[in-house]
Amino acid sequence: MPKADRPAATDADFYLLDQTIEPEGRELLHRVREFMEKSVQPVINHYWTREEFPHDLLPGMRQLGIAGLAYSGYGCPGGGNLLDGMVAMELARVDPSIGTFFGVHSGLAMGSVYLCGSEEQRQRWLPAMARMDKIGAFGLTEPDVGSGAAGGLTTTARRDGGEWILDGQKKWIGNATFADYVIIWARSLEDGQVKGFVVEQGTPGFETSKMKDKIALRVVQNAHITLDGVRVPEENRLQRADSFADTAAVLRLTRAGVAWQATGCGRGAYEHALAYARQRQQFGRAIGGFQLVQDLLVRMLANITSSACLCARLSGLQQAGLAEDHHSALAKAFCTVRMRETVGWARELLGGNGILLENHVGRFVADSEAIYSYEGTREINTLIVGRAITGLSAFV
Ligand SMILES: Cc1cc2nc3c(=O)[nH]c(=O)nc-3n(C[C@H](O)[C@H](O)[C@H](O)COP(=O)(O)OP(=O)(O)OC[C@H]3O[C@@H](n4cnc5c(N)ncnc54)[C@H](O)[C@@H]3O)c2cc1C
């Protein structure tokens, strides 16, 4: 490393958000970082290239005790929304696929049970999910129904005595190839409303096939699901999911988590770029000493700092019970746009080396494309905020 003119502020937590967390939470964040840097970073490109999930990393993740931080009771660690968000950032900072695997399990799947399950259902499913002994997935999107899920779901649920019969297809369902519990959202033929069902892996008529050749989040096992006369007992119907408004409550929670993930993805790329800028020599000096390179770095830092501060405030609103759909939607849209810019600038800063997987930034560039689109595209989240601020719905 060439001699610098002054000490470098290499910590990407530029506004010291870390200090707003209690010491116990900070200690947890450090353990998460250590796990991600020591156990995940060295091997993740191997799995990414092969489109495989690193099942052998699960015991280490279990030991962190981070599933269900946002919930209290039911065996969940209960650290609060801010800590939950900062953990999501830490995971994505090293690998967005691991961050997504975890977000699907702890956010979408556990969140569905926590927000939409009865007391008995929470007791039944959440403790094992909090221990990560059982893994969850969340099946909303269908081959022909993405953004329009609120009114357009075609998967049906027909009541037959004490059971429901599910028929239809789902697409993109993360973790579903190996998850123990897959939450399936389907339209009831009784009242036309969307309801949630916990389908256990191995239920007859429930088939998953892994989606291959993705260019993003290749470690995440996304599945195409076929439901052909799948019989689910009434006890597995989420008792507090009466309409899509209840599904939307889960998305309100998890979109905030995706905003944190996007911040982490940008932060990881920035940190790689900063380290590279300080050691890469051209024209006889570190490229970090060039004004145009500093311009890129400062733009990146501004993006991740503004995103993190926005997310922290959103977590505060969640904790206080004040967060509404449009709050999460604004953060998801804003942070993912900033993330996409940031990873692109990091790639640019690394020059040709930026497209080599071994330098990690290329993986962030690819993975950011999925984060940008899932859990509501920029357009859909914009429409949610637009409706809130004008009072006029522009959804067609
Ligand atoms: C890697 C990955 C993982 C995922 N994991 C899951 C999962 O675990 N569970 C799950 O249920 N789903 C999952 N999804 C699905 C994801 O939520 C959808 O991809 C997303 O909601 C967008 O739907 P779509 O891809 O069908 O795009 P479409 O809805 O077909 O949209 C295509 C384009 O049209 C635009 N558009 C659509 N409607 C409007 C409108 N009214 N006004 C303006 N523009 C509009 C969109 O913004 C987008 O740019 C995942 C997706 C990806 C890529």
CA of 374 to the centre of ligand 1 (A): 6
pLDDT 10s digits, 316-352: 999 999 999 999 999 999 999 999 999 999 999 999 9
pLDDT digit string (tens) for 82-105? 999 999 999 999 999 999 999 999
In whole angstroms, what is the distance from residue 41 CA to residue 37 CA? 5
**Mean per-residue pLDDT, 281-300:** 98
Contact indicator for 47, 54 with CB cutoff of 8 Å: yes
Task: Give the number of other CB atoms < 10 A from CB of residue 298.
Answer: 10
Residue 1: what pLDDT? 55
Q: Measured between alpha carbons, how far apart are the two ends of the chain, in Å? A: 56
Gap from CA of 147 to ligand 1 centroid (Å): 5
Q: Is any ligand 1 atom within 6 A of the Cβ of residue 142?
A: no
pLDDT over 80 (residue 247):
yes
Q: Which residues of 59-78 are buried (b: 16+ CB within 10 A; e: fewer)?
A: eebeebbbbbbbbeebbbbe
- The one-letter amino acid code at 109 reads A
The Å distance, Cα 372 to ligand 1 centre, comes to: 10
At 3 the pLDDT is 65
Q: Is the pLDDT of residue 2 over 90?
A: no
Residue with the nearest Cα to atom 11 of ligand 1? Answer: 140
Inter-CA distances, 107 with 40, 111, 391, 394, Å: 21, 5, 29, 28
pLDDT of residue 396: 76
Dist. CA 40–CA 328, nearest whole Å: 29
Q: Which residues pair with 226 in a beta bridge?
A: 169, 207
**For residue range 187-224, what is the model confidence (pLDDT) as tens digits?**
999 999 999 999 999 999 999 999 999 999 999 999 99
Q: Which mutation among 178, 377, 387 tests ligand 1's pocket best, with the greatest number of atoms within 8 A of CB?
A: 377
